[in-house]
Amino acid sequence: MTAAGLLGLAAWGTLACSSSGTEPLASERRAIAGGTEDLSHQNVFLLASHSDHSGGLCTSTLIAPNLLLTARHCVSPTGEEDHVLCGESALGEPFPATAFIATNDPQPRESSLFFRAAEVRVPGKQVDTCGYDIALIILNENVPASVSTPAVPRIDRDVTPGEPYTAVGYGENENGDFNGSRMQLSGLSIACEPGTCGDGVESTEFRGETGICSGDSGGPALDADGKVVGVVSRGGPDCSTPVYGTVTAWRDFIIDTATDAAKLGGYEPAFWVTTRSSDPPFVGGSGGAGGAGGEETTAAAEGEPCASSRECAAGLVCYADAGHGTGTCTATCASTTDCSTGQVCEDRGGASVCVAPSGSADDKGGCALAAAPSRSRGSATVLLSLLGLAALGSRRRSRSF
C-alpha cells in the first residue's frame, strides 16, 4: 500500500523535540551526526505517527516479517518536561495502532511502500522512561522478503565496553529539518555495559559513543554481525552520549511478542524465538539449514564450558557467575519444571535460566547477564533529551514532511 492510500504525508506533522519555549539539551539536531546515507540496512524502518493535531517520526527495526522493535516514547505520550529525569519522567499509555505506519524506503516519499500497524505492545506496567523505553509493533501484514529480511535481536549476549557497533536511523539535519534519508554511522564503540554506566542510565540500558540525534529514537545499535543489541532512547547535547535500551533485558518480552506475531502472520517463528539464542543451531547455509555441505557443527551440551552462547547447543546459553571468566552452557526455561532436578528457573538479568537455588552452595551469586532494573527514583539527576517524538501534543512544533 502507499501513503497516499492512507493519508497524505503532508498531513502528518513531523519532527519536533522541543517545547515552544525552551530548547532541550540536544539543541543541535543532525541526521546521525557524521553519518553517511544508508542504502544497505533494509530492515531499518522509518516509523511515522500521527495523533489528532500533530505527528512525529522515529526509527524502528524489523525483527520478524510483521514485527518492529522501537522505543516506547515513540509510541506513547511523554510528559511536559523537555528533559528526562530518571524516576520522574513517565510515559503514558500507547497511542492506538492506527496512528502508525512504517516504510524502509531510504528516502521516504508519498509514493513509498508503507505498512500499517495492527498492535502496539509495551512491557509490563512500568512507565519510567529510564529503563523501560522499549516497544514492539505488530504490523497488519508481513513485509515481503523481497522488501526486507528481518534483523536478528541479540537476546542472549550483552554488550561489552569497547565493542564496535553501527548506528542507523532517520533524523533531522543540522538545521533541525527532516533530512529525508536513512543514515548510518559505523566504527562506534560501546562506552559502558548495563549496570556500570552510573546515574541517568539504568541497568537495562547502556551508553553508546556519539552521533544519535532527533528522529533516530527507536533505531538500532547493530553489532559486527548486524544483530540488534540496543534501541535508542535518549541522548545529551550535540548528539552526544546516546543511551540505548539493551535487547537482552527484554528477551522474554520480545520472544513472547514474536511468538504471537508469527501466529498472526501465519509463518514459523524465527530460530531465535524457539531456541532463545541469537546464533542459529547450524553454522552457514540459509535460514540455519546447515553449514557448508549441510554438516552440523559440534555444539557444547548443558554443563559443558563455553566462552559464548554460540558454542552451546540449541536452547542453551553461555552463563557465568560474576567473577568467573569461563561460563557453562545453561538451559533456558519458562518455569522450574523445565529444569533438571535440584535446579530452579530464575531470572538472571532479563534471561530465565536453570540454576542452583539462590543461597545454595552451588550458587556463587551474580551473573554475566544484565542485572534487573534498579529503581532509584529521583536519585539520577543526569538530564538527557528524548531523541524521538512521541508526545504529539499541539505544544510541540511540527515541520512538514
Question: Exposed/middle/buried for 262, CB within 10 Å: 0-12, 13-18, 19+?
Answer: buried
pLDDT tens string 125-182: 889 999 999 999 999 999 999 999 999 999 999 999 999 999 999 876 554 556 678 9
Residue count of the chain: 401
- Of 393, 61, 360, give the one whose Cα is nearest residue 230: 61
Is pLDDT above 50 for 48?
Answer: yes
Percent with pLDDT over 70 in the chain = 70
> Please, which residues have CB within 8 angstroms of residue 187's CB and are 6 or more apart in sequence?
164, 166
pLDDT value at residue 288: 38
Mean pLDDT score of the chain, rounded to an integer?
A: 75
**Amino acid occupying residue 224:** A
Whole-angstrom Cα distance, residue 40 to residue 223? 15
Domains and CATH numbers, the chain: 3-249+379-386 (2.40.10.10)
pLDDT value at residue 326: 65
220, 151 contact by CB (below 8 A): yes
Q: Which has the higher per-residue pLDDT, 251 or 294? A: 251
Report DSSP state, residue 313. Answer: P
Question: Coil, helix or strand for 264?
Answer: helix
C-alpha cell at 222: 547493530
Is pLDDT above 80 for 121?
Answer: yes
pLDDT value at residue 321: 62
C-alpha cell at 317: 546459553
| Pairing outcome for strands 178-189 and 67-70 | unpaired
Q: What is the mean pLDDT of residues 276-283?
A: 76
pLDDT value at residue 370: 28
- Predicted model pTM: 0.68
| Pairing outcome for strands 54-64 and 67-70 | antiparallel
When pLDDT is cut at 50, 70 and 90, the band that residue 19 belongs to is very low
Is pLDDT above 90 for 238?
Answer: no
